[in-house]
Amino acid sequence: MKKSVVIIGGGAAGLMAAEVVSARGVKVDVYDAMPSVGRKFLMAGKSGLNLTHAEPFEKFVSRFGKRKNEIEKWLMDFSPENLREWVSGLGIETFVGTSGRVFPKGMKASPLLRAWLRRLTEAGVDFHVRHKWTGNISAEDGGVSISFETPDGMKNVQADAAILALGGASWPRLGSDGEWVGWLEAAGARVEALRPANCGFDVNWSEHFSARFEGQPIKSVALSFGEFRQQGEFVVTREGVEGGLIYTASALLRDEISANGKVVMSLDLLPDKTQAQVREKLSRPRGSRTMASHLEKTVGIKEVKAGLLREFVAKDDFVDPAKLAHAIKNLPVPLVAARPLAEAISTAGGVTFESLDEHLMIRNLPGVFCAGEMLDWEAPTGGYLLSACFASGRAAGLGALNWLGI
């Protein structure tokens, strides 16, 4: 009799698991709570689908922090280069951007998703949308039993194995709401608390600053915290800060707030100049110029960067070139809290690897596998998260095939 696998979650990990399993002649049914699959995948491509990164493999793997050893196993089997070849097989060409990030030539996610769904359908994969898992799952007698809420009422499904690819808890309106946490904990899996990753932070701006500079980019600055230092840019929000440079440091900043209740990041507003050079320029006679004009004429600081100085530097320090130069090169910006998980780009925490076997099967639920962002790992933006989601879906699919003896 033909074996069957149920996959819950129609994102990158779930669809990749469906491809791997269906390729071996197994009956595959994909269930998703939303009206269509791949919604978060499409959102990821809204400003250009960053599939992966072209940097050397060892450096790529190092981006996954404490979980790099586990994730390296997935990536050894489905590397960034393998991903590009796979995308090419769907008729989509890719290119490497100036930052090393890899994109489809058209930049959009929709052509890739359409081609992929067409191939999966041709392989016999059936899709069931508006089917929300209730949390009811049992694994016994060599199979699994799962219940769904559907537009037509409750539905119970039997299969030989199941793969859970439900995502984390960021972007809940796209389907990843994290409701599964309690359900899997009740089933005996250990789950690390879900936390925001690649997220913004709250800052106690003055009303004047937030009203004037909300939405303004802060370019060509360097952010330092502990041993971390990187140059880039970010954006001022009404509540605080967000954007690429902030996201890159967000895991460190978030964990420091969790441990100590607060964190102060340091900004170098002029990373291409030394503190001595800044001090020398600021020491030039100001004459009748205002301090704002003096800052702009001597070191080029104006508008939002000048506003930042006004927020965090004492008024008396503006007349002392040495103190002002130090502040420009080491501006302390206190962060109050990470923004809510629902606003984050991705999620940290999830099902621990200790709860899984080497094939990503939940030890306490034989025949039930996990993949993607619902596992306990995180990655920075730059193609790392999506690349590892694809690779984890493949690993879980192969794990299910191994369990079925196929």
Q: Are residues 109 and 139 in the same domain?
A: yes
The confidence score (pLDDT) of residue 287 equals 84
Q: What is the CATH number of the domain that holds 182?
A: 3.50.50.60
The confidence score (pLDDT) of residue 338 equals 97
Grade residue 61 by pLDDT with cuts at 50, 70 and 90: very high
Helix count and strand count (H, E) for the chain? 14, 20
Mind listing the pLDDT tens digit for each residue in 375-406?
999 999 899 999 999 999 999 999 999 999 99
Mean pLDDT in residue range 151-163: 96
Q: Are residues 24 and 171 in the same domain?
A: yes
Q: Are residues 183 and 93 in the same domain?
A: yes
What average pLDDT is seen over the chain? 95
Place of tokens 């586990």: 70
At 337, give phi and psi (nearest 5°). -165, 155
Mean pLDDT in residue range 320-331: 96
The confidence score (pLDDT) of residue 354 equals 96
Between CA 172 and CA 343 the distance in angstroms is 9
- Coil, strand or helix: which one is 89? helix
Q: How many CB atoms lie within 10 A of CB 151?
A: 7
Is a pLDDT exceeding 90 seen at residue 140?
no
Helix (H) or strand (E) holding 202: strand 201-202
Domain termination residue (choose one: 338, 373, 391): 338
The confidence score (pLDDT) of residue 74 equals 97
Is a pLDDT exceeding 90 seen at residue 142?
no
Domain termination residue (choose one: 310, 338, 366): 338
Mind listing the pLDDT tens digit for each residue in 21-30?
999 999 999 9
240, 296, 295: which is closest to 263 by C-alpha?
240
Q: Are residues 224 and 263 in the same domain?
A: yes
Q: Are residues 58 and 159 in the same domain?
A: yes
The confidence score (pLDDT) of residue 288 equals 85
Q: What percent of the chain has pLDDT over 90?
A: 90
The confidence score (pLDDT) of residue 363 equals 95
Which tokens go with 266?
């340091």
Enumerate residues 6+ apart whose C-beta is below 8 A from 16: 371, 389, 390, 391, 393, 394, 397
Enumerate residues 6+ apart whose C-beta is below 8 A from 358: none
Q: Are residues 184 and 265 in the same domain?
A: no
260, 267, 257: which is closest to 337 by C-alpha?
257
Range of the domain at 396: 4-196+345-404
Q: Are residues 222 and 370 in the same domain?
A: no
**For the whole prediction, is pTM greater than 0.85?**
yes
Q: Are residues 155 and 57 in the same domain?
A: yes
Grade residue 365 by pLDDT with cuts at 50, 70 and 90: very high
Q: Are residues 63 and 151 in the same domain?
A: yes
User: For 206-318, where are the E strands, in sequence order?
Assistant: 217-225, 228-236, 240-242, 263-268
Mind listing the pLDDT tens digit for each residue in 182-229?
999 999 899 999 999 999 999 999 999 999 999 999 999 999 999 999
Q: How many CB atoms lie within 10 A of CB 310?
A: 15
Between CA 325 and CA 200 the distance in angstroms is 27
Place of tokens 């440079």: 245
Is a pLDDT exceeding 80 seen at residue 141?
no
Tell me the CA distances in angstroms from 35 to 122, 131, 146, 151, 349, one per residue in order: 21, 9, 20, 11, 27
Q: Are residues 53 and 143 in the same domain?
A: yes
Domain count, the chain: 2
Mean pLDDT in residue range 273-291: 92
Burial class for 213, CB neighbours closer than 10 Å (0-12, 13-18, 19+):
buried
Q: Are residues 372 and 391 in the same domain?
A: yes
Question: Where would I find the H helices in 98-155?
Answer: 110-122
Q: Are residues 36 and 151 in the same domain?
A: yes
Helix (H) or strand (E) holding 136: strand 132-140
Mind listing the pLDDT tens digit for each residue in 67-111?
999 999 999 999 999 999 999 999 999 999 989 999 999 999 999
Domain termination residue (choose one: 338, 372, 390): 338
DSSP class per residue in 288-345:
T--HHHHHHHHH---HHHHHHHHHHS-GGGGG-HHHHHHHHHSEEEEE-EEPPGGGSS
Grade residue 362 by pLDDT with cuts at 50, 70 and 90: very high
Mean pLDDT in residue range 327-345: 96
Is a pLDDT exceeding 80 seen at residue 358?
yes
Which tokens go with 256?
């420091």
Given a contact cutoff of 8 angstroms between Cβ atoms, the answer to whether 331 and 267 are in contact is yes
